[in-house]
Chain A
Amino acid sequence: MTLFASLTALLLALFTASLCIGSAALTPWNSLPALFGLGDPLTVLIMQEIRLPRALLAALVGGSLGLSGAAMQGYLRNPLAEPGLIGVSGSAALGAVIALQTGIAALFTLALPLMALAFALGSVGLILMLAGPRGASLTLILAGIAISALAGALTSLVLNLSPNPYAAYEIMFWLMGSVADRSMTHVTLALPVMAVGWVLLATLGRGLDALTLGEDAAESLGVSLTTLRLRLLGGTAAAVGAATAVTGAVGFVGLVVPHLLRPLTGARPSTLLGASTLGGASMVLAADLAVRLVLPSKDLKLGVVMAIIGAPLFLHLIYKTRREIL
């Protein structure tokens, strides 16, 4: 319980910090009341329309990635698994890139995220067709890798065929992932879809615990693997698809956060689900703070910073695990 309390405290602290830090010089005494519409109208506008959606999206996206990462690792019983493994984020990115390239994105605000979401859900449908609803976890990974590769190749093709350098720039910057300059419209689009995903994933705890003993033992303990797999795929598609749709590709969260928190949860997959949700939200909020603090003038992209933090962290974890195995 202390773990959850400290993670929640960390999340709240980072969320508040995210609201208080930005390019406009505001003191917390001015900015926090402005969140509730008190004080200078300009400050109110900055807080409600710029900083609040940014902090909310960072937390929601991080939570989605952390939760689905923990669920995916629990299902595949592999600490190297991550939500991107089943091709959801790659497909969502492809949808977004096509929206940018064809100009659909310019038609209305939500055109791009809706297109990305549609591709994410489509990719899960494709995986189910390839692997079958009763497919073993290995077939699922292979189908996911194939779809990821295809989505990656098609994304490159779109970049390759882009009519002018500006379009290519736009696509590349979008692909790097960011929560800057998003509005509450993005939050209201992503939140309901993510919530569906969270509900589906949060109910997996018992099944994932049982899977610790292998698929056969889990099934004999009353876990229906077919339902578990469907809920996992649906939940990941909704949570990660919605996350990628509004922020672009943010990697490493789903891989590193569960890995980092596993020792603190007694390695129990069900406890890890909740812990990773809080931890993922904190990590993305922290990375987004770093984006604003390190090089405020350069418009650093969240996905880039996340990978720069995440990769060495992951190397460190591998190094530690290696020593444990020896």
Chain B
Amino acid sequence: MTLLSVQTLTVRRGQCPVVDHVSFGIAPGECVGLIGPNGSGKTTLMRAALGLLPHDGHSSLSDPRTRARTAAWLPQERAIAWPMPVEAIVTLGRLPHLPRSGRVSDADQAAIDRALERTGLTGFRQRTATELSGGEQARVLIARALAQDTPLLMADEPIAGLDPAAQLATLGVFSDLAKAGRGVLTSLHDLSLAARYCTRLLLLSQGRLVADGPPAEVLTPENLARVFHLRARVLQTEDGPLFQPLDVLP
């Protein structure tokens, strides 16, 4: 069984393919990191896989009727338009589950409480979301996506702008979700964290999927040089692999 299956997905901007014949699947229990330099098509690939962009090829999520209950999507743009309380924002994640009347059931409330607890926001319930700091707002939105309680979570650079502890805590939550049998697909720029928290990495270069496998097989010196123009060392330590970029290659 797969949570997401993408076959020969292609997105064109004009004539130029931004995502070029990408195929992959995500199974329960996997925490998949999507890596690649700026402009390699990470965001476009995820949006197309969700059916939010016109595309060729097939994605199992493109049916809007089932999508909201199958996958939660955390966009890169961190939008909280109105000065609503934190708990009300997190409750928005329950929208696909709520009945027409909008009544929040005990099960909904439990999911909301769990999401707040996982993101360390329990004490922030009544605070106005727009008055929090950028990093705290990011955590509110992560909690919103967690509250949706879907088999698959897709996040676009969820840890950008978070403090180090919040970065680790967020990826810790993602990897716990995977261990509990969910699936996670997240784009990341921090290769070190990607290597430590993801069970599998997808490497994108100019819209093409150039590597797909466990972190140690993807973060090879050749791939780093070819795709990222980086010389780096991957140290195998008792705390897991540590990744340190050293030079920019011409």
Contact = CB atoms under 8 A, between A and B. Distances in A.
The DSSP consensus for interface residues of chain B is: mixed
B106 interface: no
A214 B77 contact: yes
Interface string B61-88: 0001101110111110101111111001
Nearest to B100: A206
Contact of A212 (B65, B68, B71, B79): B79
A268 B84 contact: yes
A77 B102 CA distance: 21
A219 B48 CA distance: 13
B95 A210 contact: yes
Interface of B: 47, 50, 52, 64-65, 67-69, 71-75, 77, 79-85, 88-89, 92-93, 95-96, 98, 102, 141, 144, 148
Contact of B75 (A77, A210, A214): A214
A216 B68 contact: no
B95 A221 contact: yes
Nearest to B144: A213
A262 interface: yes
Interface size class of A (residues with CB under 8 A): 20 to 34
Contact of B77 (A209, A216, A267): A216
Contacts of A178: none
Interface in A251-294: 262-263, 266-270
A222 B98 CA distance: 12
Contact of B79 (A217, A222, A224, A266): A217
Interface of A: 77, 205-206, 209-214, 216-217, 219-224, 262-263, 266-270
Given A206-B102, A212-B89, A216-B47, 6 more contacts: A209-B92, A213-B89, A216-B73, A217-B74, A220-B50, A222-B67
Contact of A213 (B50, B52, B80, B98): B80
Across chains A and B, which 7 residue pairs bring their CB atoms closest together, nearest first? A222-B68, A214-B79, A220-B73, A77-B81, A267-B82, A216-B75, A267-B84
B83 A267 contact: yes
17 contacts: A206-B98, A211-B81, A212-B81, A212-B82, A213-B80, A213-B141, A213-B144, A216-B47, A217-B79, A220-B68, A220-B72, A221-B96, A222-B65, A222-B96, A266-B84, A267-B82, A268-B88
